[in-house]
Structure 1
Amino acid sequence: MPKPTLRELSRQAVKQRVSDVAIDLFLERGYESTTVEDIAAAAGISERSFFRYFATKDAVFFARGAEYTAAFIERVLERPAGEAPWISLQTAVELTLTSFDNDVEFTKAREVREILAASPELMARQFAHVADSQRELGDALWDRWQADPARHTEDPEIRLVIRALVGSMLGVLTEVMLHAEDLPPAERMRLVRATLDAIRPARADLGGAP
């Protein structure tokens, strides 16, 4: 992957600042009561500049989650092409959890959940984003499965099973983030592994026990 240019790094830094400012305002005033004008003024940019980085107010809120999702999908797809889907997913979950093992990332996650809890409108959109992400990842894993001549691609149930595996895996990660965030990193990882072992698929070709 090519390294980002200085211009790209600068753009990313501005987007991050605007996103951080927006989250602070949403926490302070509520999502519905905060305008694009408010966000732009607090970030020290014009409204016109805001729209160079984000198409809507929704986009600035979901930007952080979109980055995490993209990073998770990238971790999965970076795994060896012939690796079983469950193993690729489990490895990506563990890497993602490790990246969250610091106070800053867990604080950000708490802030997002607090804003979502106060806005049914945002919560509904969040569910839609999650569904889209699960479908995207499931389709990507299915494409990899089909591309491997050693696998039985004629199995009509595999695509559905792979999507179910993705949903299960993301559900485990979500539950850990919700209920084990105050535990030490090693204990969180232990809980993740124990839970994943409990729901591991039965089929060996999917990554279950041989």
Structure 2
Amino acid sequence: MRSYLIGLDGSGARHRREPDPGFFLDPVEHLDVIGTVLGSHRNQQKAVEQFWLPQDEEYLQQVWTAYHRLLGKVFSLRADREASLERSTKMPAPVVLEVNKLKEQLEEALRAKARAEVLAKAEKEEIAHARLAKITDAEVSIERVAELISGLESSHRPGKGLAGSAGRKVAEAMLSVVHVGPCLAKEELSEDEKFTPQPSSDRELSF
């Protein structure tokens, strides 16, 4: 090929031509290019073998497991259906009707029980909220009466008359009403302890 390009075939000097650089191929460079391409293919193959193939195998194993589980459920349901059909064919018609009626009654009783449990739970919650509200109101009343008693005790001085002790007894009676109820409080107060308004001067009533 080289002798053809430079015209050494004996045809003369006028047919002689210089080689074209565009057609010149370096064997070493050519081999390097091929080696690089082959190396990239090998790297891709290693990546596929190391990363993608294990994931594909794991996914296929999961699919196979799910398929077996679903197949087992299908077989179980089919066996139950066949058993129920066999029992229904062996039973006479009146017995089948009676069994179906009992099943409906049982389901209705279960639904009624569930509704009753829901209503009972709601009623208990409502009662608990009402009791909590009453307790809160009673605590507020107790605090107010206690403040009234403490105010009367702080303002009362010995020798100021009956008004201070009478006011204190009234406050204690109110506190007993809050604790034990109005009926018990009325029974506990004696005739002398009951407060009856008496005419007094402005000096005696100021406390």
TM-score (norm 2): 0.22
Say which structure is richer in helix.
2
TM-score (norm 1): 0.22
Greater Rg by CA: 2
Higher relative contact order (CA 8 A, sep 6+): 1
